[in-house]
Structure 1
Amino acid sequence: MALQISATNPEHPALLLALPWDVPLEEWPEEYLVPLPRGISRHVVRYARAGDEVIAVKELAERPALREYELLRDLDRLGIPAVDPLAVITGRADREGAPLEPALVTRHLRGSQPYRSMFETTMRPATMHRLMDALAVLLVRLHLAGFAWGDCSLSNTLFRRDAGAYAAYLVDAETGDLHPRLSPGQREYDLDLARVNISGELLDLEASGALHPSVDPVEFGHEICTRYGGLWRELTRTSVYPAGAYHYIERRIRRLNDLGFDVAEMQIEHSSGGDTVTFVPKVVDAGHHQRQLLRLTGLDTEENQARRLLSDLESWMATQDDHAPGDPLAARPEVLAHRWVRDVFRPTVRAVPPVLRGSTDPAEIYHELLEHRWYLSERAEHDIGLDVAVEDYIRNVLPKTRASLDPTTPG
Structure 2
Amino acid sequence: MNSLVLVINSGSSSIKYQLVDVGTEEALATGIVERIGLEMGKIKHEGPDGTTVLEQPVPDHDAGMAVVLSLFEKHGPHIDESLLAAVGHRIVQGGSIFAGPAVIDDTVLAQISDLSSLAPLHNPAHVSGIKAARHAFPTVPHVAIFDTSFHQTLPPAAYTYAIDRELAAKYAIRRYGAHGTSHLYVSHKTAALLGKDPSEVNVIVLHLGNGASATAVRAGKSVETSMGLTPLEGLVMGTRSGDIDPAVLFHLSRQAGMTTDELDDLLNRRSGMLGLCGYTDMRDLHDAVAAGDEVARTALEVYFHRIKGYVGNYYAQLGHVDAIAFTAGIGENDDVVRAGALAGLERLGISVDPERNAGRKKQPTVISPDGAEVTVMVVPTNEELEIARQSLETVSA
Q: TM-score, normalised by structure 1?
A: 0.32
Structure (1 or 2) with the larger CA radius of gyration = 1
Instruction: Identify the structure with bigger relative contact order (alpha carbons < 8 Å, sequence gap 6+).
Output: 2
- The TM-score, its normalising length taken from structure 2, stands at 0.33
